[in-house]
Amino acid sequence: MEIVQLTIDNKKVVVEKGTTILEAAKSIGVDIPTLCYMKLHDTNFENKPGGCRVCVVEVEGRRNLAPSCKSTCEEGMKINTHSVRVVNARRTVMELILSDHPFECLVCAKSGDCELQSLAQNLGIREVKYQGEKNKYKSDESPAIIREMEKCIMCRRCETACNDVQTVGVLSAINRGFESVVAPAFEMDLDHSTCTFCGQCVAVCPTGALTERDSSSKVMDAIVDPNKTVIVNTAPAVRAALGEEFGMDAGTLVTGKMVSALRKLGFDHVFDTDFAADLTIMEEGTELLGRLGKHLAGDKDVKLPILTSCCPGWVNFFEHQFPDMLDIPSTAKSPQQMFGAIAKTYFADQLEKKREDVVVVSVMPCLAKKYECSRDEFKVDGDPDVNLSISTRELAQMIRNANLNFEALEDDDFDQPMGESTGAAVIFGTTGGVIEAAVRTAYEVHTKKTLERLDFEELRGMEGIRSATIDFDGLPINIGIAHGLGNARKLLEDIKAGKSEFHAIEIMACPGGCIGGGGQPYHHGDVEILKKRQRAIYEEDKGKILRKSHENPFIQKLYKEFLGEPCGEKSHELLHTHYYDKKKKIEI
Amino acid sequence: MAKFKNHVLVCGGTGCRASQGEEIVQNLNQVIEENGIEQDVQVVRTGCFGFCEKGPVVKMVPDNTFYVQVTPDDATEIVKEHLVKGRKVERLLYTDPETKERVSESKDMGFYKKQIRIALRNCGFINPENIDEYIARDGYAALGKALTEMKPEEVIKEILDSGLRGRGGGGFPTGLKWELTRKVDADQKYVVCNADEGDPGAFMDRSILEGDPHAVLEAMAINGFCTGASIGLIYIRAEYPLAISRLKIAIEQAREYGLLGKDILGTGFDFDVEMRYGAGAFVCGEETSLIHSMEGLRGEPTVKPPFPSESGYKGKPTNVNNVETYANIPVILLEGAKWFSSIGTDKSKGTKVFALAGKVNNVGLIEVPMGTTLREVIFDIGGGIKDGKGFKAVQTGGPSGGCLTEKHLDIPIDYDNLLACGSMMGSGGMIVMDEDDCMVSMAKFYLDFTVEESCGKCAPCRIGNKRLYEMLDKITEGKGTDEDLGHLRNLSNVIKDTSLCGLGQTSPNPVLSTMENFWDEYVAHVKDDKCPAGQCKSLMQYVIVEDKCVGCTLCSRVCPVDCIVGDKKAPHVITQDICIKCGACYDKCKFGAISIQ
Amino acid sequence: MTKVKSLADLRKMKEELANKVQLREKSDSPEKLVQVKVSMATCGIASGAKEIMNHMIDEMDRQAIEALVTQTGCMGFCHAEPTIEVTLPNNEPVVFGHVDSKKADEIITKYIIRGELVDGIIPVNYETVKENKND
C-alpha cells in the first residue's frame, strides 16, 4: 500500500494513495460540506460529478479551488478547508444555487429532510444576493413519482441511480447552461418512459425535486367514510425503518407500535403483508418445484431458472427491457396484490361486505407499489384489489398528523386472520429473503423432510450478485440473487446468452432489497442504516415461533376453506398474473 | 501533361464561396475556353487567402497580381485583359486605405507584409482537394522521414525542442503532451484532432482544414507513430460542411496513396483517420467534453485528473491536439526544431494564426510570429480602425479572454504576456473595438455567449454566469447599483475560482478585464446614468437640435413608429416615450440636426 | 491509383509533381529568379510575342534555368515588337527588342546564363520601366 502524507488545516495526515481530500479530511475529523456527492458503499452507488462545487478547498500552489470529493491526495499537499477564500466561494456558490430554487420550504414535502436546506443553514446563508430569473418546468406527476424540477439542483444523483445503478436509463441531463435539467428524453413524462418506478431517484434526491405521489389524504378520506371498511397491511421492511422517522435508531423494530398507531389512526383491520408473503411462497415455491420437476424429467419446454416476481419495479424492468423473456419469471403476484385479491374476496365474504365497500390500503417501503396497484389486471370491474399504497414516509406523516407520540405507544398485535405470518415472510424485506423463504418451504415439500438449519447464511449479505448451491437431499439447487436492477440485468443477459446455471433467482429492484426501497425514510447516503434495517429483519425472523411459510396456520386454513391447493384453479385466478411487452408502449 | 503558363488561384474558403466564389471559377473557365487559352491557364480553387475583408480574392500566377472583391462578372475582363493581353485590371486591385494607391501584389499589401505563414503555408496556395499538390509541396515527407529515419522519441524530442505549444488556447507544450500519452501502456490508443472551433468570430481551424487538410492528417499520423496510436479521430462541428467534405476527400486520397491505412510507406506502421461530428457546443472544445461527445454522451467535462493521456476516448490513452497545432508539425520535422524555435519569443515559439475581426479595416485571417505587437497586428496588418475612428480595446482569446487597451498595444503577443495582462491567447480570436463600443455591453455580449454555451454541469458556471449576465444587463439598462458593481466583481472571482472546466474558469474574464480597464464606464452607467459610448439604448436618446433643423420632414417620414412631429419648415420634435431608438432619423438627417444624448 | 510504397517513392513522386506548384512557388520569390516579361499587347501578339514566350519557357526549362516568364502589357516600344524585359537577380531590368527565336536563344545563352550583354537592347530609363510595369 502506497501512502501519502499531507497537511489539512495545519494537521498532518497520512492516507493511502488515491484517497480523496474529502475522505482524508474526514479521517481527522474535518467534515467538509458536500451537496452533490454521495457514496453508498456495498451498493455500487457513487455520485461525484464534481458539479455543485460546495466541497471546494484551497490547495496551496493551485490556481483554482479544488473539489475535495474529486481530488485525490498527493504527497506534500497543503490544504485549507476554511480559508476566507474557500468560505466565501462556498457561500457564494450556495447562494447561486438558492437563487435558482423556489423559496417554498414551508410547504415542501422535503422540508426538514432536505440536504439543500440543512446545508444553507450550516453555511448560515441569511440572504441571497444574486437574484435573477428562475427556471420553470412543467410538473410531471406519474402514479408513483412526482418531479418538480424547479427544485432540481443538478446534483445528478438520480441520474447515477437510474443509469449506473439501475441501468434503466430514463433520467439524464438535457438542455444546456442555465436551462439544464435532469429529465427523461424529450422531456416526456415518467409515465410514458421506461421508468420502473423503483424510486431510487427519490431515495437519493437531496431536495424536493423528486418525491412520491402522496396518497395519505386519500387514505384519511376513506377512513372517515362511514360506508367504507378500511383494511391496512404493512410490508415487512416498514417495521424495520419506520422508527427512524421518529428519531429512533436505525434498525429499531417497531412492529407493535406501528400496529398500535395504525389502529389509532382508525383503520378497521390492521393486517400484515407478511401473511400474503407466506402465501406467495406457497404459490411461487410450488411453481418452482413444478417447473423443476418437469425440467428434471426432461421437458424441454420448461424454462429455468424461475425468477421471483414479487418486486414491482423489477417486473416493470423486465417488461420494458426484456420483453422476450416474459415467460421466465414466476407468474405469482406480489404479496401486495395477493393480499388485495384475498382481502377483497375471501375476507370481504367473511365480513359480508361488497368488494367496492372494502378499501385496501398497503403501507410499503416502495414507490413502484403505487404503480402496481393501479395496473388494470389488478382490478375487478374497475375496482382495484389494492386501492391505495402509501410509503413508510407517508405513514409516518399520518402518525404525526394524528398527534401520536409514536415512541410512547404500547405494542399491539395484528388482527386475524390476515395478520398471522412466519419468519419466512418477514425476511422478504431484505435482499436474499424471498429465496431463503422459498428454500425453507420448497426443501421440505420436495424432500418431505424437516429442515434442520433454517438460517441460510450463504444467501444473505449485501453483495450485489450472490449465488449458492443448496442441497435438496441429494439434488443440488443453484440459487442466484441480485439486488439493484443493474445487477439483475447482468443475470438476465446471462440467461439470454444461455450461460445461466441457476435454477432459481431472486431479484429485487432496490439495492438492499425492500429495506432500501424508494419509499423508506431517507438514508442520506449512510449505508450503515440499510445494514441495521437488515439486521432487524433477521432478528424478527429469529424471534418468530413459526419460520416456514407452509406452517402458517391461517395459510393452511385459507387453502382448506377457500383456495384448494397451491397453483390450483382458484389460486391461478386470484394469485397469478401475466406480463406485458412494454417496449412497444413507449410514447413520446 | 500540359504545362500551364498561368495559374489563376481562386479562394475556395467558406467566406469567398459564400460570395459566389464558385461562380467565379465557372465563369473564368468558360471565358478561358472561349478565348482558347485553356492549354495555358489553369484555374485552381485554393483554401483561404486570409484577406476576407476584401473577398472573393483571385490571385494571378506567375505575376502575383492580387484581385479583390471579384464578382463572377469580372471573369471576362480578367481573362481578356489580364490573361490574353497581359494588362492588369486596375479596378480590381486593392487600394491602400491610407495612401489611396492601388497595390497589385499581395506582398506589397500591409495586410501581408508582417505575416509569416507556417500553419497557413498551403492555404491559398494549393488545391486542397488534390493530394498531388500537397505532395509537391513536400507533403507527407515529414511523415516519411519520421517513419523511416526517426524513432518516436526523436520525433517527440524535436517537437519538444521546437517549443511548440498547444494552439487551442491552453498553450501546453505539445511535445510533453505526446510524451505523456506515449508513456502509458495500453492495447489501444487514440489520436484526436480537436476541430471544434467555437469562439465567436474565430475561423482559423476551419480555414486550415479547408485549405490544407492533408497537413492535419499527416501530423495526426506522426502523432500516432509517436504515441503508439493506430486510430485518429477528427472531432469537427457539423456546421463546417466544406471542411468536412475536404477532409473526407483528403482521407480518401491519402488512403488511395497508402499514406493512411496499413503498412504506411512500407514501414509496417498502421494508421487511419475517422471523422466524428459535433453539434457545435463550445464546451466540446474542452478535451474531456469532446471525448464524452465522441462517445455519444452528453458533452460535458469531467474533473481532471485523470487526463485523457491516461484515460480518454473509451477509457484509452488519448492525445488531443488542436488543428493549428497539428498544422505546424510537418514543417517542424522538415525544417527542424532549431528553425522553428528561432521564430517567436522566449517561451512562445513559432507563429500564431489570428482571426482579426471587429472595427479594423482589414478583417481576416492572419498568421504572425509570436512576439508581434498588438499595434502591428491592428494598425499595420489590420490597416487601422475603420472610418478613422479611435481605437478603444481589443478582445483576445474570445469569450475566455480579456480586453486589452491602448496601454497594451506594444506588448509582444505571446501566451505568457497575454495572461499577465489579464487576457489569454485562446484559440486566436481577436476582436477590435473602437470608441463607439460600450465596454459594459461588450462584456454582456460575451456573457450572453457563455450563458448559452455553458454545459450546465457545475453550479458556478450554470447559474453564476447567468447572474453575471443579468447584472450587466441591468447596468446597461441604467438600473445598476453600486452594490451590483461589488457583486459583479465577487461573483466573477468565485466563478473563476470554483468552476469545473476552462469554460467557467475563464468566462468572467471579459467582465473582470473591462472592470479593470474601463471602470469609469461602469461607474458612468451606474452613477450618472450615461453610456459614454452612446451604445446603450436605455441610457441615450435622440434629440433634434432646434437650430439645425430646417423642417425638411425627412426624419418624420423615415420614423417607423411616427414619433417625430413638426410642421414643414419648422423644427421637429421627437416624442421620447414612443421612440424606439432605432436611429433611422439620425442616419437620414442631412443637416446633422439629430444628436445622441 | 498506385500506392506510395516507401519514402524514396514519395520523394520521387514529389519531384515529378513539383511542376504542379512550381510556378506558384517561383512567383512568390521572383527576385531570386531570372524574370522574363514578354510584352503581350495587340502589337506584341501580332508580331509573334506569344510564340516567343512559349519558346523562352521551353528553352529555359530544357536548360534547367530557374526562371519566371510572365506576360505584361504594352511596353511602349511598338516599333520594336516583340519586346521582352529580362531581370537577372540583383540586376536592373534590361529590355530587348525585335526578339525572334534566334535572338531569344542568344539572350538565354549569353545574357541569362553568362551575363554578357547582347545587341538589341532598348535603352530605357528606370522611370519608364516602372511606369509601364503597372500597365
Residue B501's closest CA among B445, B453, B469, B468?
A: B453
C79-88 pLDDT tens trace = 777 888 888 8
* B257 → closest Cβ in C4, C27, C54: C4
Which of the residues A287, A319, A420, A540 is marked catalytic? A287
Instruction: Say yes or no for a CB contact (<8 Å) between B136 and C53.
Output: no
- Residues 76-115 of chain B with CB under 8 A from chain C are 84-88, 104, 107
B371-400 pLDDT tens trace = 999 999 999 999 999 988 999 999 998 888
C130: confidence class by pLDDT, cuts 50, 70, 90: very low
Q: Which residues contact C111 (CB under 8 A, 6 or more apart)?
A: C86, C88, C94, C117, C118
Report the percent of chain A where pLDDT is more than 90: 94
Residue A575's closest CA among A276, A357, A304, A274?
A: A276
What does the DSSP 8-state code read for residue A29? T
Q: Quick check: is A377 catalytic? A: yes
The rounded mean pLDDT for chain B is: 92
Residue C131 pLDDT > 60: no
Find chain B residues with C-beta within 8 A of C23's C-beta. Answer: 4-7, 61-62
Average pLDDT over residues A127-138: 94
Neighbours of chain A (3+ CB pairs under 8 A): B
The rounded mean pLDDT for chain A is: 95
B114-155 pLDDT tens trace = 899 999 999 989 999 999 999 999 999 999 999 999 999 999
A70-108 pLDDT tens trace = 999 999 999 999 999 999 999 999 999 999 999 999 999
Which of the residues A150, A283, A319, A372 is marked catalytic? A372
Q: Quick check: is A330 catalytic? A: yes
- φ, ψ of residue C71 to 5 degrees: the values are -100, 155
Average pLDDT over residues A293-308: 89
Q: Quick check: is A310 catalytic? A: yes
Q: Looking at beta carbons, which pairs linking B527-531 to residues 24 or more positions away fall under 8 Å?
A: B527/B482, B529/B478, B531/B438, B531/B440, B531/B441, B531/B476
Instruction: Say yes or no for a CB contact (<8 Å) between B136 and C14.
Output: yes
C127: confidence class by pLDDT, cuts 50, 70, 90: very low
Neighbours of chain B (3+ CB pairs under 8 A): A, C
ipTM reported for the complex, 2 dp: 0.93
Do A and C count as touching (3 or more CB pairs closer than 8 A)?
A: no
Q: DSSP for B152-198, please give it.
A: HHHHHHHHHHHT-B-TTTT--BHHHHHHHHHHS--S--EEEEEE---
* C-alpha span between B511 and B158 (Å, rounded): 40
Q: How far is C110 from chain B (nearest CA, A)?
A: 24
Residue B144's closest CA among A1, C103, C13?
A: C13
Q: Which helix (H) or strand (E) holds A395?
A: helix A392-401
What is the pLDDT at residue A1? 80
Q: DSSP for B43-61, please give it.
A: EEEES--S-GGG-S-EEEE
3-class secondary structure, A61: coil
What is the pLDDT at residue A452? 87
Q: Quick check: is A366 catalytic? A: no
Residue pair A284/A308 in contact by the 8 Å Cβ criterion:
yes
Q: Which residues contact A551 (CB under 8 A, 6 or more apart)?
A: A422
Q: What is the largest CA-CA distance in chain A?
A: 80
Average pLDDT over residues A433-443: 95
What domain count does chain C have?
1
Count of all residues that appear for chain B in the document? 597
* Sign (positive or negative) of CA dihedral B317, B321, B323, B328: negative
C128: confidence class by pLDDT, cuts 50, 70, 90: very low
Average pLDDT over residues A577-581: 94
Domain assignment present for C104 = yes
Q: Quick check: is A369 catalytic? A: yes
Most confident listed range (A36-45, B413-422, B463-472, C53-62): B463-472
Q: All domains of chain B, ordered by start, with CATH?
A: 6-112 (3.40.30.10), 131-339 (3.40.50.11540), 351-434 (3.10.20.600), 439-527 (1.20.1440.230), 541-596 (3.30.70.20)
C126: confidence class by pLDDT, cuts 50, 70, 90: very low
* B462 → closest Cβ in A49, A129, A154: A154
- Cα–chain center distance at A473: 35
Residue pair C107/C84 in contact by the 8 Å Cβ criterion:
yes
What is the pLDDT at residue A586? 54
Domain assignment present for C35 = yes
Report the percent of chain B where pLDDT is more than 70: 100
- φ, ψ of residue A352 to 5 degrees: the values are 60, 45
Q: Quick check: is A374 catalytic? A: no
Domain boundaries, chain A: 3-82, 133-213, 217-575
Neighbours of B202 (CB within 10 A): 23
What cell numbers appear for B466 in the block? 447567468
A479-504 pLDDT tens trace = 999 999 999 999 999 999 999 999 99
According to DSSP, the residues that pair with C94 across neighbouring strands are C86
Instruction: Say yes or no for a CB contact (<8 Å) between B494 and A177.
Output: no
CATH number at residue C47: 3.40.30.10
What is the pLDDT at residue A41? 83
- Domain A133-213 of CATH type 3.30.70.100: no
Residue A231 pLDDT > 80: yes
- φ, ψ of residue C132 to 5 degrees: the values are -75, -25
Find chain B residues with C-beta within 8 A of C3's C-beta. Answer: 256-258
Which of the residues A148, A212, A283, A284 is marked catalytic? A284
* C-alpha span between B360 and B347 (Å, rounded): 29
The CB-side HSE value for A357 (13 A sphere, CA atoms) comes to 12
According to DSSP, the residues that pair with B94 across neighbouring strands are B103
> CB contact, 8 Å: B63 with chain C?
yes
Instruction: Say yes or no for a CB contact (<8 Å) between B463 and A96.
Output: yes
Q: Quick check: is A95 catalytic? A: no
Average pLDDT over residues B492-503: 95
Q: Which helix (H) or strand (E) holds B207?
A: helix B204-211
What cell numbers appear for A518 in the block? 424508494
pTM, full prediction:
0.90
Bond prior to B369 in cis (omega within 30° of 0): no
* B86 → closest Cβ in C3, C13, C41: C41
What is the SS3 string spanning B448-514? HHHHHHCCCCCHHHHHHHHHHHHHHHHHHCCCCCHHHHHHHHHHHHHHHHHCCCHHHHHCCHHHHHH
B405: confidence class by pLDDT, cuts 50, 70, 90: very high
* Domain that includes residue C91, residue range: 29-134
Cβ neighbourhood burial of A546 (10 Å; 0-12, 13-18, 19+): middle
Domain assignment present for C41 = yes
Q: How far is C120 from chain B (nearest CA, A)?
A: 23
3-class secondary structure, B384: coil
Residue of B nearest to A68 (CA): B303
B537-577 pLDDT tens trace = 888 888 899 889 999 999 999 999 999 998 888 899 999 88
3-class secondary structure, A57: strand
* C-alpha span between A54 and A187 (Å, rounded): 28
Q: Quick check: is A372 catalytic? A: yes
According to DSSP, the residues that pair with B360 across neighbouring strands are B385
Residue of A nearest to B497 (CA): A64
* B459 → closest Cβ in A52, A65, A132: A52
What is the SS3 string spanning A247-290? CCCCCCCCHHHHHHHHHHHCCCEEEEHHHHHHHHHHHHHHHHHH
Name the packing angle between helices B152-162 and B323-335 (round to 10°).
Answer: 100
Which of the residues A377, A493, A528, A565 is marked catalytic? A377
Task: Spell out which chain C residues touch chain B, with contact meaning CB-CB distance below 8 angstroms.
Answer: 1, 3-7, 9-11, 13-14, 17-24, 26-28, 30, 38-42, 44-45, 53-54, 57, 61, 68-74, 134-135
Residue of C nearest to B261 (CA): C3
Average pLDDT over residues C68-94: 79
A398-434 pLDDT tens trace = 999 999 999 999 999 999 999 999 999 999 999 999 9
Mutate to test the interface with B, among A37, A130, A134, A172 (most CBs of B within 10 A): A130
| Lowest-confidence segment of A119-128, A314-323, B79-88 by average pLDDT | B79-88
Residue A51's closest CA among A202, A155, A144, A146?
A: A155
Q: How far is A110 from chain B (nearest CA, A)?
A: 21
Instruction: Say yes or no for a CB contact (<8 Å) between B86 and C26.
Output: no
Which of the residues A48, A151, A333, A369 is marked catalytic? A369
State which amino acid sits at residue A277: A
Helix and strand totals (H; E) in chain B:
25, 20
Q: How far is B190 from chain C (nearest CA, A)?
A: 24
What is the pLDDT at residue C80? 73
CA dihedral B115, B116, B119, B122 (to 10 degrees): 90
Neighbours of chain C (3+ CB pairs under 8 A): B
Find chain C residues with C-beta within 8 A of B265's C-beta. Answer: 4-7, 9-10
More confident residue, B582 or A232: A232
B499-535 pLDDT tens trace = 999 999 999 999 999 999 999 999 999 999 999 998 8
Residue pair B396/B445 in contact by the 8 Å Cβ criterion:
no
Count of all residues that appear for chain A in the document? 588
3-class secondary structure, A181: strand
Measuring CA to CA, how many Å separate A486 from each of A160, A162, A185, A489, A523?
A: 11, 9, 20, 5, 20
Q: Which CATH class is domain A3-82?
A: alpha beta
Name the packing angle between helices B213-227 and B241-256 (round to 10°).
Answer: 60
Which of the residues A152, A510, A514, A567 is marked catalytic? A514
From its phi and psi, is residue B423 left (phi > 0), alpha (psi between -120 and 50) or beta?
beta
* C-alpha span between B172 and B190 (Å, rounded): 19
Instruction: Say yes or no for a CB contact (<8 Å) between A92 and B281.
Output: no
> CB contact, 8 Å: B39 with chain C?
no
* C-alpha span between B319 and B315 (Å, rounded): 12
Q: Chains A and B: how many Cβ contacts under 8 Å? A: 111
- φ, ψ of residue A238 to 5 degrees: the values are -65, -45
Instruction: Say yes or no for a CB contact (<8 Å) between A154 and B305.
Output: no
- Strands A210-212, A306-307: pairing kind: unpaired
Residue A443's closest CA among A303, A555, A292?
A: A292
Residue of B nearest to A88 (CA): B494
Q: How far is B168 from chain A (nearest CA, A)?
A: 20
More confident residue, B100 or A78: A78
Residue pair A321/A563 in contact by the 8 Å Cβ criterion:
no
Find chain A residues with C-beta within 8 A of B458's C-beta. Answer: 50-53
What cell numbers appear for A273 in the block? 403483508
Residue A373's closest CA among A341, A419, A395, A397?
A: A341
Residue pair B394/B422 in contact by the 8 Å Cβ criterion:
no
Task: Spell out which chain B residues touch chain A, with contact meaning CB-CB distance below 8 angstroms.
Answer: 281, 298, 300, 302-303, 305, 451-460, 462-467, 470, 487, 490-491, 494, 496-500, 505
What is the pLDDT at residue C129? 44
Residue B122's closest CA among B252, B275, B9, B3?
A: B9
Q: Which CATH class is domain A217-575?
A: alpha beta
Task: Spell out which chain A residues touch chain B, with contact meaning CB-CB distance below 8 angstroms.
Answer: 49-54, 56, 64-65, 67, 70-72, 85, 88-89, 92-93, 96-97, 99-100, 129-133, 153-154, 172-173, 175-180
Find chain B residues with C-beta within 8 A of C61's C-beta. Answer: 3
The residue whose grid cell reads 460600450 is B438
> CB contact, 8 Å: B268 with chain C?
no
| Lowest-confidence segment of A363-367, A513-517, C7-11 by average pLDDT | C7-11
A261: confidence class by pLDDT, cuts 50, 70, 90: very high
Name the packing angle between helices A84-99 and A115-122 (round to 10°).
Answer: 140
